[in-house]
């Protein structure tokens, strides 16, 4: 744990030495847990689709029964790429990520779009993350294009900034705001970020297993904006361009950088993949 006078945060429990190629979606992926959320051994079913070539109907039923009777958090990773959420009132979820649900749930796209749209219009644009509000009581399963799902638990007054392209869901107990990063008009991604403050759980996605990098006085950091997923909200990143005549005609991605100067302590989470943002419709 790292402590400062203004905030407290935990580094996600990840292997900082991971250096893997773009993920193969055929591989079985174990859930990644961050913040104060822990994975208990007994919560993993003894049988699963990932460790059998041929399953009998009895085993399939056993898998479902084991999953049904697990003691779960409100936000529960049923697999590394599918998130189960207990809905009791209302939650914000990325539009188009619902894969199944049980109970009396209503998907209010207009309400979610209106709430996000108002803040986006203040910035002079209607482009940004597309979210919907799920209301009612039941269980919801969400996933986004087979991406890995990461969970962070925020305590009161803790804040993180999440790239709008990667935000999946967050608890209604949190507070949030949309920020526009100035100076990034030449970049394809990373312009809109959602700052979320606790208490509550935040879910975001990564392509491949992410790594966590420390930022501190004397330890500044530069990252690719399209690989930058999440960072401590007390950090104030800026954009930097490094364009030569050769790279102007044949851009490779390194010309545009997201710079964390290291004047404050925090962390940055990056994924091993440069994700091109999906154009959002105007709200």
At 61 the pLDDT is 76
**Burial class of 31 by CB neighbour count within 10 A (0 to 12, 13 to 18, 19+):** buried
At 103 the pLDDT is 95
| Mean pLDDT, residues 260-264 | 88
| Mean pLDDT, residues 201-214 | 95
What is the C-alpha separation between 235 and 258, in angstroms, rounded? 12
Report the range of poorest mean pLDDT among 73-87, 136-150, 269-283.
269-283
Higher pLDDT: 78 or 260? It is 260
Could you tell me if 193 and 234 are in contact, meaning their C-beta atoms sit under 8 angstroms apart?
no
Report the range of poorest mean pLDDT among 37-41, 92-96, 131-135, 274-278.
37-41
> Is the pLDDT score of 156 beyond 50?
yes
Could you tell me if 94 and 140 are in contact, meaning their C-beta atoms sit under 8 angstroms apart?
no
> Is the pLDDT score of 215 beyond 90?
yes
> Is the pLDDT score of 184 beyond 70?
no
158-194 b/e (C-beta count within 10 Å ≥ 16 → b): bbbbbbbbbbbbbbeebebebebbeebeebebbbbbb
| Mean pLDDT, residues 36-53 | 44
Higher pLDDT: 21 or 196? It is 196
Give the torsion through C-alpha atoms of 183, 187, 192, 193, to 10 deg: -90
> Is the pLDDT score of 182 beyond 80?
no
At 127 the pLDDT is 54
At 160 the pLDDT is 96
Q: Which residues pair with 197 in a beta bridge?
A: 159, 175
> What tens digit of pLDDT does each residue of 47-66 get?
555 555 677 777 777 777 77
What is the C-alpha separation between 226 and 235, in angstroms, rounded? 18
For residue 23, give every residue at least 6 positions away whose Cβ sits within 8 Å of its Cβ, in sequence order, or none.
29, 148, 207, 208, 209, 273
> Is the pLDDT score of 83 beyond 50?
yes
Q: Which residues pair with 267 in a beta bridge?
A: 214
CA dist list (Å): 31 to 73, 77, 145, 187, 256: 14, 6, 16, 31, 32
């Amino acid at each position: 744990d790292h402590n400062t006078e203004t905030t407290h945060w935990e580094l996600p429990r990840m292997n900082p030495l991971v250096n893997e190629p773009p993920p193969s979606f055929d591989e079985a992926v174990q859930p990644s847990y961050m913040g104060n959320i822990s994975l208990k051994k007994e919560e993993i079913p003894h049988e699963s689709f990932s460790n059998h070539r041929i399953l009998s109907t009895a085993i399939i039923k056993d898998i479902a029964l084991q999953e049904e009777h697990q003691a779960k958090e409100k936000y529960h990773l049923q697999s590394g790429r599918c998130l189960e959420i207990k809905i009791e009132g209302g939650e914000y979820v990325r539009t188009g990520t619902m894969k199944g649900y049980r109970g009396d749930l209503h998907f209010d796209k207009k309400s979610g779009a209106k709430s996000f749209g108002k803040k986006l219009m203040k910035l002079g644009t209607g482009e940004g993350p597309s979210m919907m509000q799920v209301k009612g009581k039941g269980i919801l399963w969400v996933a986004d294009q087979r991406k890995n799902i990461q969970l962070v638990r925020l305590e009161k007054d803790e804040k993180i900034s999440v790239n709008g392209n990667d935000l999946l869901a967050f608890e209604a107990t949190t507070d949030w705001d949309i920020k526009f990063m100035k100076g990034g008009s030449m970049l394809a991604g990373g312009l809109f970020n959602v700052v979320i403050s606790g208490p509550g759980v935040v879910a975001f996605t990564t392509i491949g297993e992410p790594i966590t990098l420390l930022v501190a006085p004397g330890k500044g950091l530069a990252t690719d904006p399209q690989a930058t997923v999440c960072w401590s909200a007390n950090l104030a990143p800026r954009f930097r361009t490094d364009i030569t005549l050769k790279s102007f005609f044949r851009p490779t991605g390194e010309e545009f950088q997201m710079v964390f100067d290291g004047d404050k302590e925090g962390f940055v989470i990056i994924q091993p993949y440069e994700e091109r943002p999906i154009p959002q419709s105007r709200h």
